[in-house]
């Protein structure tokens, strides 16, 4: 199983802790140490599972808006995007549990025209105000259909580290990775009002594969 590059530090710390706690459990608890070691082994395995990188065939897209993450669609509504677009748009929000793949992918193809990191709070990721008050990043892409699409990585109550690797001027390719969030979070995508929304609230998405909307050409 291929692991994400962001796994190195976390797995190193987890391995050291597992060895230390396991040694102490065997030394002091003898046969009863299994009551400690087995749950630790489950947690240790889940850490590897969290950082997995699935093998997915990413297609080329022009007007399609691709699910940027694995997760569950929790919001589709008209809102005012106040940071970059400063106009009414359709917001599609996808919540990621700690068991989802946490690779963040471009939802559209085009050119990166804006990026910014915002420190902030750590409200639960499904909280409506988390989009504007939590620690977050904002990226805007001018799509191949000449639309400006904004998307936002949002930290949650558990997620405390957001990584994004893109820069202004970079080529964005729908479905391809631009960042990563550790341990539970949310992605918001802000689309023009005339966008055809294909997904529904409650839908389970696979990042890089599922089409959630279609831009007007």
Kindly list the domain boundaries of the chain, sorted by start residue.
Answer: 7-50, 64-214
- Options 109, 130, 143, 185, the catalytic residue: 185
Look up 185 and say whether it is catalytic: yes
Between CA 182 and CA 158 the distance in angstroms is 8
* 37-96 pLDDT per residue, tens: 999 999 999 889 989 999 999 999 999 999 999 999 999 999 999 999 999 999 999 999
Give domain 64-214's CATH number out of 2.70.70.10, 2.60.120.580, 3.30.565.10, 1.10.150.120. Answer: 2.70.70.10
DSSP string across 14-46? HHHHHHHHHHHHHHHHGGGGHHHHHHHHHHHHH
- Rounded percentage of the chain residues whose pLDDT exceeds 90: 76
The answer to whether the CB of 14 falls within 8 A of the CB of 63 is no
* 102-127 pLDDT per residue, tens: 899 999 999 999 999 988 766 665 55
- How far is CA 37 from each of CA 20, 23, 173, rounded to the nearest angstrom? 11, 9, 44
Between CA 74 and CA 151 the distance in angstroms is 15
């Amino acid at each position: 199983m291929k692991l994400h590059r962001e796994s190195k530090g976390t797995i190193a710390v987890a391995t050291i802790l597992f060895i230390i706690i396991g040694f102490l459990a065997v030394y002091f608890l003898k046969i009863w140490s299994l009551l400690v070691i087995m749950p630790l082994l489950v947690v240790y395995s889940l850490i590897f599972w969290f950082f997995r990188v699935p093998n997915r065939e990413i297609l080329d897209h022009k007007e399609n808006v691709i699910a940027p993450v694995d997760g569950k669609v929790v919001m589709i509504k008209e809102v005012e995007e106040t940071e970059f677009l400063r106009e009414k748009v359709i917001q599609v929000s996808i919540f990621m549990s700690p068991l989802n793949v946490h690779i963040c992918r471009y939802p559209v193809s085009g050119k990166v025209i804006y990026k910014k990191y915002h420190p902030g709070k750590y409200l639960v990721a499904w909280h409506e105000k988390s989009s504007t008050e939590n620690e977050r990043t904002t990226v805007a892409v001018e799509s191949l259909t000449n639309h400006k699409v904004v998307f936002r990585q949002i930290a949650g109550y558990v997620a405390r580290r957001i990584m994004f690797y893109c820069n202004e001027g970079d080529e964005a390719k729908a479905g391809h990775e631009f960042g990563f969030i550790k341990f539970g979070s949310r992605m918001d995508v802000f689309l023009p009002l005339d966008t055809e929304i294909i997904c529904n609230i409650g839908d389970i998405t696979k990042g890089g594969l599922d089409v959630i909307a279609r831009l007007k050409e």
